[in-house]
Structure 1
Amino acid sequence: MPFTPALTRRRAAAALVVVGLLTPLTACGSDDDTKDSATGSSASASASGAPAADLTVLAASSLTDVFKAAGAAYEKENPGTKVTFSFAGSQELAAQVKQGAPADALVTADTKTMDGLKADTGTPTVIAKNRLVIATGKGNPEKIENLKDLADTELKVVLAASEVPVGRYSKQILDAQKITVKPVSLEPNVRAVLSKVELGEADAGLVYKTDVASASGKVDSVDIPDEQNAVASYPAATLKTTEHSDAAEAFVKWLSTPEARKILTDAGFQQP
């Protein structure tokens, strides 16, 4: 059939309509491509290559201050990612994991707790280490000089419970020196021990060196010689129940980068 001017104009108009219909479909297809097929969340990556996600990290109480700084640094480096921390004693965190608490990664204050969760975590990596000190009231009013002084029954000494990592470390170093301490209370985490000393409810307590640093100006401390001390290791791992496995793994790996290690060492932690 010969092409008439009218027919040509009608076909051109029809072609324009088809293009107009396909254009929004193409745009929608582009949006769908950015969705994570497993979770429906955005899978766009930051400049560092880490997928964007809202992450929940279970972390030992002694990491409270330093992880707030680390989280802010990570979010700045990875726009679109939000890191929320839940701090508690490592034994409490382990119980939460066993109960299926929704979280993406875990950092404990000892390898024993993490080793007990092998069925629930990825391969852990030690990101930092720590040591114990004797926390005292500001100015050390009781003139405490060493571990042996903690055996004085007139002193109000507070320790962490034995199921808490810092409580196990405390028992380890006291037993090694054959020192018997009768604490006025056994606390659920290291920050509770520090709080008792800071508030004047105890004369002394065994805490991590970094905890005293976080309460600068409110408490003082007495160093424990290395040969009498214990080294606390902090392993980090992803949780197998995470819905953001790639993003969680990226965060755990970042904790071993030079930037993260500087944040940790500036807060008093030791290199792993």
Structure 2
Amino acid sequence: MKTRSARRTRRTLRVAGAGAAALLALSACSSSDSDDSSVKSDTSASASPELTGTVTVFAAASLKESFTTLGKEFEEAHPGTKVTFSFGGSDTLAASITGGAPADVFASASPKTMAIVTDAKDASGTPATFARNQLEIATLPGNPDKIASLKDLTKSGLKVVLCDETVPCGAAAQKALDASGLKLTPVSYEQDVKSALTKVELKEADAAVVYKTDVNAAGDKVEGVDFPESADAINDYPITLLKDAPNSAAAKAFIALVQSAEGQKVLTAAGFLKP
């Protein structure tokens, strides 16, 4: 009886010892996993370098107000950075980029002008559409000429300004005119949409075909008139990182801001349509 009792005791001790060892192993494993997780977290945090330096953005003139706002937000979110802009006609900006002008980001008012850059292999990756824009007629405050349609712009004696056809806003306006079977001879063709709008603001023209966003930005300096043909001439706005971007890390972060919910909020508030 004593022998059997002794065997039971030894067997019980062995089982208990094995269980304790297993618990210790699990505890050690859990501790190790926790340590690894902590290390990974620390490593991940240190792997995101702080953004610094200047981001140079070439952007269509119609983006001036919204991108200026986003530039300020970017600088506030990333102390030590500065966003500089060159606004103008998309075709002119594209030509500057392919000619070697140093820039980090290009935001165009049409895929056609973006193609100038991509065809020259000066873009890094595939451009992404981040917004769309629709045309509107800008008239003098109070619309004294009673302009109510695109056809009204063909009235004799009316001084109308268009963007040049090489510029996205001009190409879109011509597309709308062609779709309506209308012929319009403007008093001048402007190299970007802001220049066209300025002619009306300065009362050097009675009307101009520009973007809704530009009419919004002008406030009470002009009055906007919608026309249905504009729905057939909506421009997509693509953005891309440039191949030889001097500050690619910060440039990528700026593009991410433009595409983010916050960026889209700023753009839609300016009158842009969602992509």
- Shorter-chain TM-score: what band? 0.7 to 0.9
Amino acid at match of 1:158: V
Contact 1:131 1:229 in 2 (8 A): no
Displacement of 1:229 after TM fit? Answer: 3.9
Please give the residue correspondences for 1:1-272 in structure 2 after superposition, counting only pairs within 5 Å: 45-46=49-50, 51-118=51-118, 119-122=121-124, 123-225=126-228, 228-272=231-275
Amino acid at match of 1:72: K
Describe the superposition over 1:58-109 as per-residue Cα deviations: whole angstroms up to 9, x where unpaired: 0000011111111001111112111001101001101110111111110010
Displacement of 1:53 after TM fit? Answer: 2.4
- Which structure 1 segments of 5+ residues have no match? 1-42
CA distance, structure 2, for counterparts of residue 116 and residue 90 of structure 1: 10
User: SS where residue 56 of structure 2 aligns?
Assistant: strand
Displacement of 1:117 after TM fit? Answer: 1.3
Amino acid at match of 1:69: T
Displacement of 1:243 after TM fit? Answer: 1.9
Amino acid at match of 1:45: P
User: SS where residue 59 of structure 1 aligns?
Assistant: strand
CA distance, structure 2, for counterparts of residue 240 and residue 228 of structure 1: 34
Matching residue of 1:12: none
CA distance, structure 1, for counterparts of residue 76 and residue 127 of structure 2: 25
CA distance, structure 2, for counterparts of residue 270 and residue 168 of structure 1: 19
CA distance, structure 1, for counterparts of residue 246 and residue 133 of structure 2: 31
User: SS where residue 87 of structure 1 aligns?
Assistant: strand
Q: Name the TM-score, length of structure 1 as normaliser.
A: 0.80
CA distance, structure 1, for counterparts of residue 230 and residue 90 of structure 2: 25
Displacement of 1:52 after TM fit? Answer: 2.1
CA distance, structure 2, for counterparts of residue 143 and residue 100 of structure 1: 47
Contact 2:110 2:236 in 1 (8 A): yes
Q: Name the TM-score, length of structure 2 as normaliser.
A: 0.79
Percent identity reads 47
Note the aligned Cα RMSD (angstroms): 1.5
Displacement of 1:234 after TM fit? Answer: 1.0
Displacement of 1:44 after TM fit? Answer: 7.7
Displacement of 1:260 after TM fit? Answer: 0.6
CA distance, structure 1, for counterparts of residue 230 and residue 135 of structure 2: 12
Q: Aligned pairs, how many?
A: 226
Extract structure 1 runs of 4+ deviating beyond 3 A.
43-46, 226-229
CA distance, structure 1, for counterparts of residue 68 and residue 274 of structure 2: 19
Contact 2:95 2:116 in 1 (8 A): no
Matching residue of 1:4: none
- Which structure 2 segments of 5+ residues have no match? 1-46
Displacement of 1:174 after TM fit? Answer: 0.2
Displacement of 1:153 after TM fit? Answer: 2.3
